[in-house]
Chains A and B, each alone.
Chain A
Amino acid sequence: MTNSKKEFLRGGRAITPILIGIMPFSVVFGYAMKNAGLTGIQSSFFALSLLAGASQLAAVQLYAAHTPAFIIIVTALVINLRYAMYSLSLQPILKQRSFVKRLFAAFIMSDQSYAFTMSEGENNPGNRFLPSFFLGASLVLYCSWQAGIFLGYNLGTIIPERLSLDFAIPLVFMSLLIPHLKGRDRQISALAGAVAAVILVPRFPLQSGLLISIFIGIGSGMAYRTFQETWMRDNR
């Protein structure tokens, strides 16, 4: 077996333990698409054409609430901006690959496969086959993600509405939120976003309250950070 094949398999194996964590997320996403009234073909189209779970789940929720297209698009893009940072740090790893391969790498990149690849790069700095490792990890995640969506969509056809399974959607976002609460500045940012959303979401037209609340949260975190830095400098 060539080294690149070996690394491909190693990457795939490395990511399997967290599939247990991804599965409920994808099942809830599949269920949400069914609940939003999307047909099987429409759901498959959205599931297969993009791998960016949090933004997709949010987009489907907004779509179900009859939100205007441009607000759905902007909200999804804001949530996905973090991937731009990932693509920046993947640059040196993939710099010798063709444009098409790099674009494919961007397509199948996920939070998890990115994180595993970066830590593999840290642990084995001499690993020349990191792109194969990344590809293996990403493909395993992509395939199991699709399987979970398929399962969730079909569950949606048999689960009665009075079980309020829509409540699983905020629970998914909640689990995703926890790791981002490190640091007082980020807690402030989350708190401001949350308070703004509770006030604005029911009051603003066309679901624009969510987007405005996200900006308020970001602004509050930045303001707190700036205040903190200035204060610390003045008190040294």
Chain B
Amino acid sequence: MNYYLLFAIIAISSLVVKGLFLCFIPLRKVTPFFEKILRYIPPAALAALVVPSLVYSKGSAGIAISFPRILAGTIAFLVALKSRNIFVTIVSGMILLWIFSFAIHF
């Protein structure tokens, strides 16, 4: 699909979601079921986005399990839990990955 068309569809449909009850559906309340679903989207979606990228690396030979990534990711997760700071998490995770990648090829 054409790049601009695809990203225009994402932008417009997301805008409809962002303004769903503010502009389009004048509902005052949503059903408890819908509320329940919404409670679990952030943890489920973010965890599903995070973990595969911490386990696999994409190389010329396709997808492979990467031990430096698993190690660096696990420690970075503990750092994130403790620090609750995105900058500290990124910097420590990157440095750990470089150290472990270097060590494995040493």
Binding site for B on A (CB under 8 A): 20-21, 23-25, 28, 38, 42, 45-46, 49-50, 52, 54-56, 58-59, 61, 63, 69, 72-73, 76-88, 90-91, 94, 99, 102-103, 105-107, 109, 163-181, 185-187, 189-198, 201-202, 210, 213-218, 220-222, 225
Whether B40 pairs with A222 at a CB distance below 8 angstroms is: yes
> A174's contact among B8, B36, B80, B97, by CB below 8 Å, is which?
B80
Q: Which residues from 16 to 44 on chain B have a C-beta closer than 8 Å to any C-beta of chain A?
A: 17-23, 26-30, 35-44
Contact A193 B47 (CB under 8 A): yes
A167, B84: Cβ atoms closer than 8 Å: no
CB-CB under 8 A for A73 and B22, given A173-B49, A202-B56:
no
- Chain A's nearest CB lies how many Å from the CB of B91? 9
The 5 closest A-B pairs by CB, nearest first: A217-B44, A106-B19, A221-B40, A190-B47, A193-B44
- Whether A176 contacts B43 by the Cβ 8 Å rule is no
CA distance A217 to B89 in the complex (A): 24
Total A-B contacts with CB atoms under 8 angstroms apart = 258
Set of chain A residues within 8 Å of B23, measured between Cβ atoms: 87, 99, 102-103, 106
The answer to whether B44 and A169 touch across the interface, beta carbons within 8 angstroms, is no
Q: List 11 A-B contacts (CB under 8 A).
A: A21-B86, A46-B11, A49-B8, A78-B45, A80-B14, A85-B30, A88-B20, A102-B22, A103-B15, A176-B86, A194-B47
B81 at the interface (CB under 8 A from A): yes
B47 near A202: Cβ-Cβ < 8 Å: no
A192 and B72 CA atoms in complex are apart in Å by 21
A78 to B97, CA, bound (A): 31
Taking CB atoms, residues of chain A closer than 8 Å to B103 are: none
A76 pairs with B87, CB closer than 8 A: no
Q: Are B51 and A194 in contact (CB under 8 A)?
A: yes
A41 nearest in chain B by CB position: B4
Known A-B contacts A80-B14, A99-B23, A186-B40; the reply to A170 vs B47 at CB < 8 A is no
How far is B78's CA from A181's CA once the two chains are assembled, in angstroms? 13
Nearest chain B CB to A39 CB, angstrom units: 9
Do B69 and A214 have beta carbons less than 8 Å apart?
Answer: no
Of all chain B residues, which has the CB nearest A49?
Answer: B11
Which partner residue on chain A sits nearest B57 by CB separation? A164
The residues of B that contact A63 with a CB separation of less than 8 Å are 6
Chain B residues whose CB sits within 8 angstroms of the CB of A24 once the complex forms? 86-87, 90
Q: Are the CB atoms of B38 and A82 closer together than 8 Å? A: yes
Question: Do B13 and A73 touch (CB < 8 A)?
Answer: yes
